[in-house]
């Protein structure tokens, strides 16, 4: 596992260098500083790393994968910039969000600029049918936007079902991880069956990742997570834990619980205690494990070395604390 972590760190450093090179292509002006600020944020780079792992595992040259991997991370950064505006978050990855450091208009334009940069990087990929990569990423972005809209609409509902929640995070979180895997396979010409499995694997991984995020935001510290949960609690954000807890309650009980979350947004320990009493924490852990086992079955017929690395990747994100 230590060798695998070293490999991830090497990929992360290469992707960071690529992002730095991209930021230098933005001409000095009013948008330059916020774009540079966004690209310098210290993210985990899991999506581009996954693209590289998959592409290399199916035989693609490392250098051929870097433009697409860079594009994926830039696009992910774009979604975070706009997500922070909609959630009115003050901090992301331990730093001020762009709309707080500058203003909302600047943050919107920064997101727009990042999306442009992402597609500019993507078309540098040295494959004949690069237009298909653009189509894939464009389709993914449409679904991500749809998932974000669902997430916002759910804030005003107390009757969100588990299936609705899972569909929402498949779009909002799972789709970008899924397309990262798929594009890695496409660049490597992995074949239709393997690419389909990669797409499903990525979707499952993304869903498990988001549910794990929901859990960590409750049981981990704000310092480790790099952001505050208070705004989510006060706005009525639906997480897997909230949806699980609400299941089976009467309408008036659901309203009471949502009011409890708002009133106790500063007291996570009390909220976690409430979740634990109802078995929500245990069910959340079980759901994550179940989905990750399903993801492993999806890649059962992959080449041995790639399968081992993807299993290591699953273990790596399963054990994360932020």
Three-state helix/strand/coil letters over 198-220:
HHHHHHHHHHHHHHHHHHHHHHC
Please tell us whether the domain made up of 2-318 is placed in CATH 1.10.600.10.
yes
Per-residue pLDDT tens for 161-183?
999 999 999 999 999 999 999 99
Per-residue pLDDT tens for 243-288?
999 999 999 999 999 999 999 999 999 999 999 999 999 999 999 9
Q: Which residues contact 90 (CB under 8 A, 6 or more apart)?
A: 96, 97, 100, 228, 231
pLDDT at 137 over 80: yes
- Is residue 226 very low, low, confident or very high in pLDDT (cuts 50, 70, 90)? low
What is residue 45's DSSP assignment? -
Domain ranges of the chain: 2-318
Count of alpha carbons within 13 Å of 195, Cβ hemisphere only?
A: 14
Task: Summarize the confidence of residues 112-122 as an average pLDDT.
Answer: 98
CA distance 34 to 36: 5
């Amino acid at each position: 596992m230590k060798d695998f972590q070293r490999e991830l760190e090497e990929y992360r450093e290469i992707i960071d260098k690529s992002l730095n090179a991209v930021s230098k292509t933005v001409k000095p002006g009013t948008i330059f500083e916020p774009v540079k600020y966004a690209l310098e944020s210290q993210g985990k780079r899991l999506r581009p790393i996954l693209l590289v792992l998959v592409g290399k595992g199916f035989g693609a040259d490392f250098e051929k994968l870097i433009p697409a991997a860079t594009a994926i991370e830039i696009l992910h950064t774009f979604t975070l910039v706009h997500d922070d505006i909609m959630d009115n978050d003050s901090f992301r990855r331990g730093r001020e969000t762009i709309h707080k450091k500058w203003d909302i208009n600047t943050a919107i334009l920064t997101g727009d600029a990042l999306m442009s940069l992402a597609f500019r990087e993507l078309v540098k990929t040295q494959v004949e049918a690069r237009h298909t990569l653009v189509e894939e990423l464009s389709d993914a972005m449409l679904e991500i936007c749809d998932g974000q809209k669902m997430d916002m609409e759910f804030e005003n509902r107390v009757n969100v079902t588990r299936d609705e929640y899972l569909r929402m995070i498949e779009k909002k979180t799972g789709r970008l991880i899924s397309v990262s895997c798929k594009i890695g396979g496409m660049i490597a010409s992995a074949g239709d069956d393997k690419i389909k499995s990669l797409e499903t694997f990525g979707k499952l991984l993304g869903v498990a990742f988001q549910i794990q995020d929901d859990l960590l935001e409750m049981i981990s510290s704000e310092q480790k997570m790099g952001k505050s949960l208070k705004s989510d609690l006060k706005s009525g954000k639906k997480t897997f834990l909230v949806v699980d807890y609400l299941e089976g309650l009467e309408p008036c009980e659901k309203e009471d619980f949502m009011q409890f979350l708002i009133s106790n947004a500063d007291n996570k320990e009390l909220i976690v205690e409430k979740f634990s009493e109802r078995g929500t924490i245990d069910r959340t852990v079980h759901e994550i494990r179940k989905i990750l086992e399903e993801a492993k079955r999806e890649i059962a017929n992959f080449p041995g070395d790639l399968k081992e690395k993807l299993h290591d990747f699953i273990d790596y994100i399963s054990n994360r604390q932020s």
